[in-house]
Amino acid sequence: MTRHVFEYAVLKVIPRVERGESINAGVLLYCRPLSYLGSRVHLDADRLRALDPAADLQAIELALRAAAETCSSAATGPAGEEEIGRRFRWLTAPRSTVIQPGPVHTGLTNDPDADAERLLRVLVLPVT
């Protein structure tokens, strides 16, 4: 079975940028050979409140949802007009905001959707 190179980044929530503390809240996955751009997000409200009890959960959830929608094939507006590689590069560009991408990493896949789920489980969801 042919495996294709993919790139991924973790979305981090940094509620108080000046402190630099973060929690992982999503993954972005881009596989050029398979024309795939996907994301998975999960905000653990209890962990976020542990870092900042005053964090605006609703605004953070909206921002995470917006990033996920940018990855969707149904993306609208200016982002929806861009090809998926450009969208991935825009989403993973460094920024100093509450939602920040981590570094881009690579892997091999034959099922990018399954790998997005796996990365969510391994890198974002609470360890059980």
Considering its fold, how many domains does the chain have in total?
Answer: 1
Domain that holds residue 9: 4-123
The answer to whether position 106 is within a domain reads: yes
Is residue 50 situated within a structural domain?
yes
Q: Which of 53, 51, 52, 48 has the alpha carbon at shortest distance from 64?
A: 48
Q: What is the pLDDT at residue 96?
A: 83
**Domain presence at residue 100:** yes
Digit-coded pLDDT (tens) for 77-110? 887 788 999 999 999 999 888 999 999 999 999 9
Q: Is residue 128 part of a domain?
A: no
Average pLDDT, the chain: 94
pLDDT in tens, 49-85: 999 999 999 999 999 999 999 998 877 788 778 899 9
Q: Is residue 36 part of a domain?
A: yes
